[in-house]
Amino acid sequence: MKWLLILLMVLASASMLAAEPKTLEGHGGSVMAVAFSSDGTALASSSRDKTVKLWKANDGKLITTLDAHADDVYCVTFSPRGDLFATSSGDKTIKIWELRTLKPSRTLEGHADIVRGVAFSPDQKTLVSVSVDKTVRLWNVEDGQPVKTLTGHTARVKSVAWSADGNFIVSAASDRTIRIWDPKSFEQKQILEGHTGDIETVAISPDSKTIASSSGDGTVRLWTIETGKVAHVLEGHEGEVDSVAFSPDGNVLASGCKDKTIKLWNPRSGKLLTTLTGHTGRVESITFSPDGKTLASGGGGGDTVIKLWDLKDIK
């Protein structure tokens, strides 16, 4: 029996080691956003250290560090075709970069305060941005010219997402509302209310039917877009939930929290699947790889690393 117990302990230890996430080090500040390229070969991260870093997704090796912004870089996102990526900053600007040259081809100016988030339209013709100046702005990707400024939020706007079907934009703010906009008519279609704390992030399911929102109230809410009603309130985190992301197939929702954990949920049933631990500070940002096999997370609150979680090891 003794040898069997030892064998089981060894196997359990090996399993734990196999499930350990890969850790990428190099940022000197909180990692505010992480994003995979559309082909899954590169990972981009943006930080309060005023830089953007590009990493090889397969082995985590640093490709380059970009330092064109003059302040904290709050967001980085790739275009659908993968030939461009956009960054937004506390310097009130947005930069659109060519992935081939790793140079910013356009700098978009117009926001009066920190630009917290950006997202490309599915056809890659338009970029949407949100700011502490309480506005949502649309830009022409080709020439960088402003298209429209959307107003309605009464406090800083912190997160934005564009639906995969291209039919609507979702913005979330410290006014504790989620607003749904028509990108063609520029009209506000719905206002979703229910959170009791500032809303930190929003994400839209791949089928464009569900919105996930995370909040300082410690919850994640799942909203049915057709009705504007809450389908599930996900509880279990102990602190401000800073980030949410859907898997590419829509079967998993990830949430990252000030409590240093990541939780994986079934978005249809609202059931908790598992909790990931390993960060030593809050989890500021999360994203899935295009094939859904890897989850990347960025740390904050003194934790300045990126972790790559192999989801096939997650039981």
Give which of 181, 136, 125 is closest to 159, Cα–Cα. 136
The confidence score (pLDDT) of residue 18 equals 37
Query: Could you give the C-alpha distances from 49 to 64, 152, 298, in angstroms and in order?
Result: 15, 31, 13
Domain ranges of the chain: 22-313
d(C-alpha 223, C-alpha 246), whole Å: 13
Q: Where are the alpha helices (DSSP H) in the chain?
A: 2-18
What is the 3-class SS of 251-291, one letter each residue? Answer: CCEEEEECCCEEEEECCCCCCEEEEEECCCCCEEEEEECCC
CATH class given for the domain over 22-313: mainly beta
Q: What is the pTM of this model?
A: 0.92
62-66 β-sheet, strand order: 31-36, 42-47, 52-56, 62-66
Instruction: Take residue 109 and report the two structure tokens written for it.
Output: 């100016």
Give which of 79, 89, 190 is closest to 126, Cα–Cα. 79
The confidence score (pLDDT) of residue 6 equals 35
The confidence score (pLDDT) of residue 314 equals 66
Task: Encode the chain (315 residues) as per-residue pLDDT tens digits.
Answer: 444 333 333 333 333 333 689 999 999 999 999 999 999 999 999 999 999 999 999 999 999 999 999 999 999 999 999 999 999 999 999 999 999 999 999 999 999 999 999 999 999 999 999 999 999 999 999 999 999 999 999 999 999 999 999 999 999 999 999 999 999 999 999 999 999 999 999 999 999 999 999 999 999 999 999 999 999 999 999 999 999 999 999 999 999 999 999 999 999 999 999 999 999 999 999 999 999 999 999 999 999 999 999 998 765
d(C-alpha 263, C-alpha 149), whole Å: 35
CA dihedral 145, 81, 35, 223 (to 10 degrees): 80
* Phi-psi category of residue 116: left, alpha or beta, with phi > 0 → left and psi -120 to 50 → alpha: alpha
- Nearby residues of 59 by Cβ (< 8 Å), 6 or more positions away: none
Give which of 139, 240, 144 is closest to 199, Cα–Cα. 240
List Cβ<8 Å contacts ≥24 apart for 248-252: 248/206, 248/288, 248/290, 248/291, 248/292, 249/206, 249/292, 250/205, 250/206, 250/207, 250/210, 252/288, 252/292
Q: Which residue has the tokens 């040259």?
A: 101
